[in-house]
């Protein structure tokens, strides 16, 4: 039996179609990676295509690594010439070679999110931007969106017209770009934008890459943005052998700039494109897939497809409703522990998925109490920790002295008596003379007002020059050891004598292990281990890339982080209106917002292989406020026959769990709120009036009145209770659920 005989009919069709544009609509768990790797093998073995002429692009290092491994197994000799890469890694490789044509040095630094925030603070300070009016995070989002849409600083200013706020944003964008260039640095968006600019301005460079990459494959095409689309379009323009794989139902990164139209309108961009649907799922049971199909069919902006499987129906989905989020977390943790203790599964076969990062806290507390090992994906990235950032900044300074952020971070780390005043004077001098911070440091004796700080600054500059000289003949490991020893970085941590300091030292040990692993990998591939290469690898790492599937721990992550992963047992928590879908999405004028949330739910459901438990809570503390929410509409879109509802739902008046009719459960939250309103309206105790305090009538509304809130919309007043200096008002909002608030802050308007 040949390797292609193991594929189903549709998979084979996708593998054998090699000439011209091809869109493979691959549903969740339909074996798209398998198709792509077999397609590469087919091109090499059957079509005689040189591995050198094949490019495969993925979105994560993890996915690229898996694809590389599979291609090597299938193809064997010569497979190393196939270029398997993420978008960002591909662009870095191209820019390291050709960015000089755009006026940058090839040893440019890549700024991560923390670096960008630091730079934006400097920009706002320089331009005297009121960060209460224009938040730094918002400004970074505006710039990122502009870059993703290939809008230059000049175009941005033109589009601003006479709008004051937009012109301020244009000023920030220009200064931000100016600072990046002076630091010889690129942010993540720049890696793509600069590559497109390179191709647009350097015809010979574009032609060389077009000639090389005659067959291009792009995975997760639904997540591409405008700049990624343009990059792929330019590369594929000559030979047009472009194969894109994706699932429009899993397009969940609109907030990052992903444009679902890239996949929905593929046939418009490439008129002769062939479309093949992969609908057979190899991951999940029939019940899980049917639930996913029923939820996603409520979306309008999608290409029709229906997932099916030969895996059998499997167990029904479990739905559990709890009084509080506390009860929800307690149940999930105890359920996991119970199954592991019985020997039914291991910890790492369980994943808890939720809509927002804030939901992890409750689960963490319960897991710690129950002594259950866990890992949060999407927490503080290893490379964003203080001690790691410090040591990496030393390496960046050695590699690229023009990176002002890196130099300023370490100039007094560990403490060497260089005060903030001295640093500011160096910064001012550098700005006024239009030179870099490090360059100014090297001539510290020329800077007025430094005084006795000159020697300390000169000593630091001499230390860096010493490291630079040694770096030419040293391995990265040896260089790092030298930096740690001569700066006495670990000694300064040991002097703190705290548990936190010990953890930081352990992290440094882990960094050394990472450097050693990088050097070994380079040796295995017969490539030089360069300082720039190591810093590049570190900069491009994502949270999901460091998920160790061999370690036995429960995984906690947001639904966005779970994309592309699979687990035997999945708990989808917080299935409530206002949380999932989010309140903003549910009430937005744009129906696309709600459709994105539904796609996110679809992604969550299809992560489960064997068991899926859906949970929700009647009340949950959010930002210090107790919220009473209905069940998520997504739960109501799942047919009753797919869900186990035994002992799931509790009535407010009963202590024990009872069997409940699912159709009535759809309206349970509404009925409970209505009943509560009736009871409270007629039985609530009349509050005692205090001297000088207005009567309830002075509020302008009473129990039973319809009111409007500026954020939550319209609703009915369920109760008014004296709360000390103010009245506590309970309102059953039509869309946002039940909220308790003080009348003075709520500013409710009677309808």
pLDDT one-digit tens code per residue, 564-585: 899 999 999 999 998 999 888 8
Look at 115-129, 331-345, 681-695 and tell me which has the smallest mean pLDDT.
681-695
Q: 136, 220, 399, 595: which one is catalytic?
A: 220
Name the pairing type of β-strands 713-722 and 706-709: antiparallel
Return the DSSP state at 221. Answer: G
Say if residue 71's pLDDT is above 70: yes
H or E stretch covering 582? none
∠ Cα 594 638 648 (to 5°): 115
The answer to whether residue 670 scores a pLDDT higher than 80 is no
The answer, yes or no, to whether residue 207 has pLDDT greater than 90, is yes
| CA nearest to 177, candidates 186, 165, 164 | 186
How confident is the model at residue 631, as a pLDDT? 92
Q: Tell me the CA distances in angstroms from 290 to 282, 321, 334, 605, 615, one per residue in order.
A: 14, 22, 28, 10, 19
Closest CA to 556 of 720, 700, 395, 353: 353
Q: Which residues contact 657 (CB under 8 A, 6 or more apart)?
A: 647, 648, 649, 650
Q: Catalytic residue, from 222, 226, 250, 397: name it.
A: 250
List strands edge to edge, sheet with 215-218. Answer: 83-86, 54-58, 215-218, 242-246, 22-26, 274-278
Q: Tell me the C-alpha distance between 198 and 55, whole Å.
A: 19
* pLDDT at residue 543 in the model: 53
pLDDT in tens, 512-556: 888 988 898 888 888 888 998 888 888 887 655 556 666 889 999
Among the listed residues 12, 18, 33, 530, the single catalytic one is 33
- Separation of alpha carbons 232 and 236, rounded Å: 6
- Segment 97-154, tens digit of pLDDT: 999 999 999 889 999 888 899 999 999 999 999 888 888 989 999 999 999 999 999 9
Tokens of 628: 């009473």
Residue 256 reports pLDDT greater than 80: yes
**Residue 388 CA: distances (Å) to CA of 289, 398, 535:** 43, 16, 12
- Among the listed residues 468, 466, 467, 476, the one whose alpha carbon sits nearest the alpha carbon of residue 528: 476
Residue range 427-433: average pLDDT? 86
Q: Report the Cα 741 to chain-centroid distance in Å.
A: 33
Mean pLDDT of 202-219: 96
- Please list the alpha-helical segments (H only) found in 612-699: 633-636, 662-665, 668-683
Q: How far apart are CA 502 and CA 740, in angstroms?
A: 45
For position 68, what pLDDT does the model report? 87
Tokens of 461: 């500059």
DSSP one-letter code for 82: S
Are residues 65 and 231 in contact, defined by beta-carbon separation less than 8 angstroms?
Answer: no
Residue 471 has pLDDT above 50, yes or no: yes
Q: For the residues of 331-355, what is the DSSP string, one character each?
A: HHHHHHHHHHHTTS--GGGEEEEES
| Cα–Cα distance, 87 to 64 (Å, whole number) | 10
- Which whole-number Å values give the CA distances from 1 to 7, 80, 614, in the listed order? 11, 26, 42
Most confident of 568-572, 643-647, 665-669: 568-572
d(CA 84, CA 65): 8
In the chain, the percentage of residues whose pLDDT exceeds 90 is: 53
Nearest to 242 by CA among 12, 15, 18: 18
**E strand map for 573-692:** 608-622, 625-628, 643-644
- The single residue listed with the structure tokens 């879908």 is 581
The pLDDT value recorded for residue 725 is: 60
- Catalytic site residue from 32, 618, 619, 740: 32
Is position 58 annotated as part of the catalytic site? no
Q: Show the CA angle centred on residue 95, arms to residues 92 and 97, nearest 5°.
A: 115
Please report the pLDDT score of residue 723 as a whole number. Answer: 57
Determine which one of 115, 189, 219, 577 is catalytic: 219
% of the chain at pLDDT higher than 70: 90
Bond preceding residue 414 cis, omega within 30 of 0: yes
Q: Which of 63, 87, 58 is nearest to 220 (CA)?
A: 58
71 vs 58: CA distance, rounded Å: 14
18: its two tokens: 């090699």
Mean pLDDT of 161-168: 89
Q: Rounded CA gap, 406 and 436, in Å? A: 12
Report how far residue 15's alpha carbon sits from residue 34's, in angstroms, rounded to the nearest whole number: 10
Is 386 among the catalytic positions? no
Q: Catalytic: 735?
A: no
- Quickly state the pLDDT bin for 11 (edges 50, 70, 90): very high
Q: What is the pLDDT of residue 668?
A: 43
Q: Three-state DSSP class for 724?
A: coil
Is 607 an annotated catalytic residue?
yes
Q: Which of 38-47, 347-356, 566-575, 717-726 has the lowest mean pLDDT?
A: 717-726
Residue 487: pLDDT band (50, 70, 90) is very high
pLDDT score of 568: 96
């Amino acid at each position: 039996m040949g390797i292609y005989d193991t594929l189903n009919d549709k998979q084979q069709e996708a593998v054998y179609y090699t000439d011209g544009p091809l869109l493979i609509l691959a549903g969740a768990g339909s074996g798209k990676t398998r198709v792509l790797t077999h397609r590469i093998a087919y091109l090499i073995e059957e079509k005689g295509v040189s591995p050198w002429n094949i490019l495969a692009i993925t979105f994560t290092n993890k996915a690229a690594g898996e694809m590389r491994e599979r291609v090597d197994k299938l193809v064997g000799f010569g497979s190393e010439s196939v270029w398997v890469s993420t978008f960002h890694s591909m662009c870095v490789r191209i820019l390291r070679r050709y960015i000089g044509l755009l006026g940058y040095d090839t040893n440019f630094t890549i700024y991560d999110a923390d670096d960008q925030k630091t730079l934006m603070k400097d920009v706002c300070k320089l331009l005297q931007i009121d960060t209460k009016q224009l938040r730094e995070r918002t400004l970074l989002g505006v710039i990122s969106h502009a870059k993703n849409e290939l809008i230059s600083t000049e175009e941005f200013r033109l589009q601003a017209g006479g709008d004051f706020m937009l012109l301020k944003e244009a000023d920030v964008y220009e200064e931000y770009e100016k600072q990046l260039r002076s630091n010889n640095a690129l942010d993540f968006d720049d890696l793509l934008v600069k590559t497109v600019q390179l191709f647009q301005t350097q015809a010979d460079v574009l032609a060389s890459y077009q000639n090389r990459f005659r067959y291009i494959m792009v995975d997760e095409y639904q997540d591409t943005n405008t700049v990624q689309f343009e990059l792929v379009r330019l590369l594929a323009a000559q030979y047009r052998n472009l194969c894109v794989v994706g699932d429009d139902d899993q397009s969940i990164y609109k907030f990052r700039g992903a444009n679902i139209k890239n996949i929905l309108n593929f046939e418009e961009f490439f008129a002769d494109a062939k479309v093949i649907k992969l609908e057979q799922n190899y991951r999940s049971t029939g019940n899980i897939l049917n639930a996913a199909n029923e939820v996603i069919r409520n979306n309008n902006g999608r290409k029709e497809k229906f997932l099916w499987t030969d895996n059998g129906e499997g167990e029904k989905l479990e739905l559990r409703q709890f009084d509080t989020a506390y009860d929800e977390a307690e149940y999930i943790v105890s359920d996991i522990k119970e199954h592991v203790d019985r020997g039914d599964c291991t910890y790492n076969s369980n994943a808890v998925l939720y809509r927002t990062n804030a939901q992890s806290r409750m689960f963490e507390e319960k897991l710690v109490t129950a002594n259950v090992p866990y890992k949060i994906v999407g927490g503080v990235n290893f490379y964003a920790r203080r001690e790691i950032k410090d040591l990496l900044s030393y390496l960046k300074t050695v590699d690229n002295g023009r990176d002002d952020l890196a130099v300023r971070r370490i100039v007094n780390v560990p403490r060497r008596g260089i005060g903030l005043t001295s640093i500011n004077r160096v910064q001012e001098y550098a700005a006024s003379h239009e030179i870099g911070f490090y360059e100014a440091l090297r001539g510290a004796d020329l800077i007025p007002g430094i005084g006795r700080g000159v020697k300390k600054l000169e000593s630091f500059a001499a230390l860096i020059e010493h490291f630079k000289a040694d770096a030419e003949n040293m391995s990265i490991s040896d260089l790092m050891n030298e930096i740690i020893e001569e700066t006495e970085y670990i000694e300064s941590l040991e002097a703190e004598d705290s548990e936190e300091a010990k953890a930081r030292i352990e992290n440094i040990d882990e960094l050394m292990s990472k450097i050693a692993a990088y050097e070994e990998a380079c040796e295995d591939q017969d490539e030089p281990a360069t300082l720039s290469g190591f810093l590049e690898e570190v900069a491009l790492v994502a949270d999901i890339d460091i998920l160790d599937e061999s370690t036995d721990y429960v995984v906690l992550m947001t639904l966005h982080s779970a994309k592309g992963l699979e687990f035997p047992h999945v708990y989808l928590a917080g299935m409530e209106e206002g949380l999932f879908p989010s309140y903003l999405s549910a009430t937005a004028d744009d129906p696309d917002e709600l459709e994105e949330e539904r796609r996110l739910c679809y992604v969550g459901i299809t992560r489960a292989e064997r068991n899926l438990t859906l949970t929700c809570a009647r009340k949950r503390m959010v930002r210090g406020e107790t919220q009473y929410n209905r069940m998520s509409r997504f739960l109501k879109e799942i047919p009753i026959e797919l869900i186990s509802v035994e002992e799931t739902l509790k009535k407010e008046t009963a202590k024990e769990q009872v069997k409940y009719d699912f159709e009535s459960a759809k309206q349970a939250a509404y009925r409970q709120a209505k009943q509560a309103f009736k009871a409270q309206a007629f039985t609530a105790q009349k509050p005692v009036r205090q001297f000088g305090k207005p009567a309830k009538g002075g509020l302008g509304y009473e129990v039973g009145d319809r009111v409007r809130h500026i954020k939550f919309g319209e609703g009915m007043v369920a109760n008014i209770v004296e709360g000390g200096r103010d009245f506590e008002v309970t309102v059953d909002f039509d869309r946002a659920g039940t909220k308790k608030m003080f009348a003075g802050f709520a500013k409710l308007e009677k309808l």
